[in-house]
Amino acid sequence: MEYKSNNNVVYSCRYHVVFCPKYRRAVLVDGVDVRFKEIAAQVASELSFEVVEMEVMPDHVHLLLDVDPQLGVHRAVKRIKGRTSHDLRSEFPWLKSRIPSLWTNSYFVSTVGGAPLAAVKRYIEAQKEV
| Residues annotated catalytic, as ranges | 123
Give the closest residue to 68 by CA, choosing from 46, 84, 50, 82. 50
Cα-based angle 104, 57, 111 (whole degrees, multiple of 5): 70
Q: What are the start-end ranges of the E strands in 20-82?
A: 50-57, 60-66
Give the C-alpha separation, 75 to 20, whole Å.
17
Give the closest residue to 16 by CA, choosing from 53, 49, 44, 60. 53
